[in-house]
């Protein structure tokens, strides 16, 4: 535990970056005619400064997707910032105040809702503990098969520029290569690489969720800003969050590009976390009461939860797949949960 925490933090980030860039050749130059299944959300319909074209010279560094994604990983983990953010999901608009600081190599995050019910959360320790899980050793096996097929999970396209929160940003579209994940539009701050806007897009280009800064402050965060403002603020200790516990459960089907990044043991079952570097879903297998034997989905913004049951040796388990993924994917995943043979 302590050993893994001494890893430099950006190692985890660079691993995620590598996950994102499973097919490095897949860049803007290869963009097909813009008739894909994902249509541009309104935000991307603005004048594009860097229109991808055919037969262009190798670009300057700032024109490559790798450059920007690298910058993104570094910024997300290491930058101190605060700001005001709007968070929109299916007709609801919320406003938040966010603080992000780095203390002793670990991220400390504080989120305060400024609208609706007063809510607040403070998270400690994000970042370092996941190194072991997304390790370079595991990488080769995981990815060789994918590389063999010659396709990553997403098609990355630079979409020009846009001004967000009074700052210049670069727009990157991550267009899914299959129907098992959602599309993402990210606006990265030109100066720091911090995502200032992020949009999740479903099939038919429907915007499911939008997270957007209205004001950004890059000055260092004081300790006072990381203190909870209310007594009932939720505290999250993420230091143990990425431990990979033992589990008897496995998925019979997993879309290309996803890999298991964490397993946790809960009081009443197991929790398995999967990611393709950009999107994340979690599989819960729990022994719950018969009142929770429910089959169906619940949707909140871009987050879908699909509930199902699995029976093993006469015992009923409740399976819940939660994630920012298409609901058909969640349903199929839930149906594929099984106990490892021989356990």
Query: In terms of CB distance, is 44 or 321 closer to another protein?
Result: 321
Q: Quick one: DSSP state of residue 221?
A: P
User: 48 or 244: whose CB is closer to another protein?
Assistant: 244
Among the listed residues 63, 77, 278, 264, the one whose alpha carbon sits nearest the alpha carbon of residue 180 = 278
Closest approach of another protein to the CB of residue 155, in Å = 17
Cα distance between residue 168 and residue 71, in whole Å: 15
Residue number, 161 or 301, with CB nearest to another protein: 301
State the CB neighbour count (10 A cutoff) for residue 110: 22
Shortest distance (Å) from residue 74 CB to another protein: 10
Chain centroid, CA 269 distance in Å? 24
Minimum distance, C-beta of residue 55 to another protein, in the bound complex (Å) = 31
Contacts of 72 (CB under 8 A, 6+ apart): 17, 186, 188, 193, 194, 195
CA-to-CA dists, residue 212 to 88, 123, 162, angstroms: 9, 20, 12
Q: Choose between 211 and 249: whose C-beta lies nearer to another protein.
A: 211
| Closest distance of CB 51 from another protein, Å | 25
Residue 272: both structure tokens together: 């398995």
**How near is the Cβ of 197 to another protein at its closest, in Å?**
10
Least Å from the CB of residue 226 to another protein: 13
Enclosing H/E stretch for 214? strand 207-217
Minimum Å gap between C-beta 111 and another protein is 5
**95 vs 316 by CB, closer to another protein:** 95
Nearer to another protein, 14 or 48 (CB): 14
Q: Which is nearer to another protein, 47 or 288 (CB)?
A: 288
Q: How many CA atoms lie within 13 A of 17 on its CB side?
A: 18
User: H helices then E strands: how many in the chain?
Assistant: 5, 18
336/333 Cα distance (integer angstroms): 5
């Amino acid at each position: 535990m302590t050993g893994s925490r001494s890893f430099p933090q950006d190692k985890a980030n660079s691993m995620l970056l590598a996950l994102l860039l499973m097919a490095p050749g897949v860049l803007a130059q290869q963009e097909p005619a813009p008739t894909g299944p994902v249509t541009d959300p309104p935000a991307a319909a603005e004048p594009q400064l860097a229109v991808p074209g055919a037969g262009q010279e190798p670009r300057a560094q700032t024109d490559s997707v790798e450059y920007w994604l690298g910058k993104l990983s570094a910024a997300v983990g290491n930058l101190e910032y605060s700001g005001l953010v709007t968070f929109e999901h299916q007709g609801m608009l919320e406003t938040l105040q966010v603080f992000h600081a780095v203390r002793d190599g670990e991220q400390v995050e504080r989120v305060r809702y400024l609208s609706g019910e007063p809510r607040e959360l403070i998270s400690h320790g994000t970042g370092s503990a996941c190194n072991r899980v997304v390790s370079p050793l595991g990488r080769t096996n995981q990815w060789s098969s994918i590389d063999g097929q010659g396709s990553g999970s997403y098609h990355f396209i630079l979409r020009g520029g846009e001004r967000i929160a009074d700052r210049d940003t670069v727009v990157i579209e991550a267009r899914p290569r299959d129907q098992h994940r959602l599309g993402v539009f990210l606006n990265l701050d030109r100066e720091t690489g911090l995502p200032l806007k992020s949009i999740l897009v479903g099939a038919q280009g429907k915007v499911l969720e939008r997270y957007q800064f209205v004001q950004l402050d890059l000055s260092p965060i004081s300790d006072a800003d990381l203190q909870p403002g209310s007594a009932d603020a939720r505290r999250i200790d993420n230091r143990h969050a990425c431990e990979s516990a033992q589990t008897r459960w496995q998925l019979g089907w997993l879309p290309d590009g996803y890999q298991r990044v964490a397993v946790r043991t809960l009081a009443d079952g197991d929790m398995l976390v999967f990611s393709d570097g950009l999107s994340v879903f979690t599989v819960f297998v729990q022994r719950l009461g018969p009142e929770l034997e429910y089959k169906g989905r619940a949707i909140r913004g871009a987050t879908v939860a699909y509930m199902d049951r699995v029976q093993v040796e006469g015992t009923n388990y409740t399976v819940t797949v939660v994630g920012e993924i298409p609901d058909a994917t969640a349903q199929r995943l839930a149906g594929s949960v099984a106990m490892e043979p021989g356990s």
